Amino acid sequence: MTEKTTALTELKGVGHARAQAFFRIGIESAQDLIAYYPRDYEDRRELTPIASVQPGQTVMVQAQLLGAPTTFRKGRLTITRARAADATGSIQLVWFNQAYLTKNLQAGSIYVFVGKADHKYNTLSLISPKFHKGIEGERGILPVYPLCEGLTQAIVRQTMRQALIDTGRQEYMPREIRSRYGLCEYNFAVSQIHFPDSYENLDLARRRLIFDELFMLRLALLRLRDQRIQDKKGFRIQAAPDEEKLRARFGFSLTGAQERTWKEILADLSSDKAMNRLVQGDVGSGKTAVAMLALFAVARSGRQGAMMAPTEVLAAQHYESAVRLMEPLGVRVGFLAGSLTAKQRRDVYERIQLGLIDVVIGTHALIQEGVEYARLGLVITDEQHRFGVRQRAALAAKSEMPNVLVMTATPIPRTLAMVLYGDMDVSVLDEKPPGRRPVKTYCVNYTYEERIYRFIDKQVEAGHQVYVICPAVEEGETGDLHSVLELGEYMQKCVFPKRRVGILYGSMKAGEKDRIMQEFYEGKIQILVSTTVVEVGVNVPNATLMVVENAERFGLAQLHQLRGRVGRGGAESYCILITDAAQTLTRQRMKVLVDSEDGFLIAEEDLRLRGAGDVFGLRQHGLPELRLADLGRDLSTLREAGEAAADLLKKDPELSREGHELLKEQADRYMERGKDLAL
């Protein structure tokens, strides 16, 4: 089904060159353009007399330029200044690195200046104001669009006006939903989001469009889930008759949460429906053991199991566990990752295809084109927040109807999980294995550096190991941040000449990376200076200290994840966050970590402080882009939209009732587009 679209060139006044410029930012039709929302608005309804301009306000003043602008340099900055006056007073105008813009300004002429007022160089100023001559120029609350070469605000605004005139869409949202949730009419919403008549109308427009985005997403996820429930996979996986033998090899008994989760998984595996389950468990909750039980059952039922990890280090670790646990019981385990030679890889491919491997563990290499499975029965992705939905689907596509198990340590607030994993069943590992001691967490500034070094030495002296995490690989990459290479070298040469300091970062050669990780694992390296590549999954129980440099650079959930690398053995463990950032927000964020080890609470705080896009890397999830909605801010709308979608499907599962025709069309199209994203 294709939507009737209007090519941009069909709009009055839009020529080839202009259409080309829009094309560059992915806009091909009038319909695309209408969905290109303003990033901001300028209130150009009324002029402000200069005497009443307040710092912090964005204002429009009409004033006479008192003299030609003067430009001077200060370091890398080019600063241009001028003064302008109206009948009530005068104000300074300042531009940074924009001398070219002010070339045409003439002393004595009258301009309209629009910009934000602030104190600069001891006087009230307009910062980088936009301007046009005389009294002409548009009035109203004007949209401000993201631009690219060949496009100006004026061009986008004019084209947008034309597009809004030439196109229109019939309302598709059922009347009951609109009235129950107080949603304004669709065409009104799009015209007001671009050219609001008032801020009240803008709010109404936003509410409607945000609701639509979340409603469509939720509706699509629910429909997918309904479809899946009808699918039969044609085979069942039973509990392994000798499961006890595998359990005996763990060396511990499962926690209650692990037992419960395993039961839920087994129920899925042994039913005739395909499993699609998310296992959520904080760092250290023991997800691997559950995965091993599932892989073992699958192998015993004569099918293949694949487990994909986001890094080679982690994949190798899982591989070792699987070999240690299962090979003695006759399960054939294989490994597939980028570092294999072409010959090794071909060999593994062949054995997978011939069914000579029962369980294969690896990285993205598992979903490469050449890999064909003889009888894939289960796909597990570990730490899935690093995988896009697309990759998850690519692996699933290797079998007609595989069981899918997704494991993540990212604690996702419930409302969000509803969107990110809206089509999945969820198990929660909410209990840690016994004997874990809390990790003592401190936040300090760089005056503590010497003391931290002494503390590191003390840990190493006691036979333990230490992680030091830096935000950058090389100096200069991001200003004055501590870097792995510099700090690693400094620590080795100047601070700990007698210890072995290892260096690890993502873009190292895979073989090299593995060697370092292996040596750390074996205790040959005592201090590992690394980027966040160690964030996910690696398990070195002897490590007792995690030091994070420039901690302000990391998200809370990420820091929590990093901290989860220590406290895995019996010994007292520590996490030291170092930051010189003095901002209140940074302080607040660090305090959350110092005070709590509850991953859910930390994620919710992070969400509140930073917004969802940053915390959960929504793009990585392959979700259709949410243009207006912000999952951190719009949680209540999300709840309402979710409720509306569920309610609608309950009453009309096929969307075939009268009055739902347009909505069905819209929803089908949405899912069709979503296919690329493997929604």
CB of 381 to Mg ion, least distance (A): 11
Q: Which does 622 bind (CB under 5 to 8 A by kind): ligand ADP, Mg ion, none?
A: none
Residue labelled with tokens 């690219």: 148
Of 433, 523, 611, 624, which lies in the binding site for ligand ADP, with binding defined by CB under 6 A?
433
For Mg ion, which stretch binds (CB under 5 A), given 114-122, 427-435, 533-541, 588-596? Answer: 533-541
Q: Does 287 bind ligand ADP (CB under 6 A)?
A: yes
Residue 548: strand, helix, or coil: strand
What's the min distance (Å) between Cβ of 622 and ligand ADP? 23
> Which stretches within 301-388 are classed as H helix?
312-326, 342-354
Cβ pair 102, 95 in contact under 8 A: yes
284 binds, among ligand ADP, Mg ion, none (CB under 5 to 8 A by kind): ligand ADP
- Secondary structure (3-state) at 282: coil
Residue 537 interacting with Mg ion (CB under 5 A): yes
Residues 498-517 that bind ligand ADP (CB under 6 A): none
Residue 158 contact among Mg ion, ligand ADP, none, beta carbon within 5 to 8 Å by kind: none
By beta-carbon proximity to Mg ion, the closer residue of 422 and 564 is: 564
Q: Are strands 465-469 and 543-548 parallel, antiparallel or unpaired?
A: parallel
Window contacting Mg ion (CB under 5 A); options: 126-134, 196-204, 296-304, 536-544: 536-544
Sign of the dihedral through C-alpha 636, 637, 638, 644? positive
Q: Check binding of 411 to ligand ADP (CB under 6 A).
A: no
Q: Is 167 in the site for ligand ADP (CB under 6 A)?
A: no
The one among 30, 289, 365, 380 contacting ligand ADP by CB under 6 A: 289
Backbone angles phi, psi at 403, to 5 degrees: -85, 135
Q: How many CB atoms lie within 10 A of CB 67?
A: 12
Q: Using the rule CB under 6 A, which residue among 29, 102, 288, 573 binds ligand ADP?
A: 288
- CA quadruple 184, 187, 191, 194: dihedral positive or negative? positive
440-444 and 574-578 beta bridge pairing: parallel
Per-position b or e across 326-336, b if 16+ CB within 10 A of its CB? beeeebbbbbb
Half-sphere exposure of 331 (CA within 13 A, CB side): 34
263-302: which residues touch Mg ion (CB under 5 A)?
287
Nearest Cα to Cα of residue 377 among 280, 225, 240: 240
Residue among 222 and 325 whose Cβ is closer to ligand ADP: 325
- Verify binding: residue 58, ligand ADP, rule CB under 6 A: no
What minimum distance in Å lies between the beta carbon of 598 and ligand ADP?
Answer: 15
Dist. CA 304–CA 357, nearest whole Å: 7
CB 194 within 8 A of CB 143: yes
CA pair distance 348, 336, nearest whole angstrom: 7
Rounded Cα distance between 428 and 449, Å, is: 39
- In the shown chain, the binding pattern of residues 14 to 43 toward ligand ADP, with x for contact by CB under 6 A and - for none, equals ------------------------------
**What x-and-dash track marks residues 231-270 binding ligand ADP by CB under 6 A?**
---------------------x-xx--x------------
In the bound state with ligand ADP, the residue whose beta carbon lies nearer, of 258 and 441, is 258
From CA 529, how far away is CA 468, in angstroms rounded?
A: 5
Shortest spacing between CB 281 and ligand ADP, in angstroms: 5
* Cα three-residue angle 278-232-261, rounded to 5 degrees: 25
Interacting partner of 281 out of ligand ADP, Mg ion, none (Cβ under 5 to 8 A depending on kind): ligand ADP
Which residues lie near Mg ion (CB under 5 A)? 287, 537
Which residues lie near ligand ADP (CB under 6 A)? 252, 254-255, 258, 281, 283-289, 409, 433, 537, 539, 541, 568
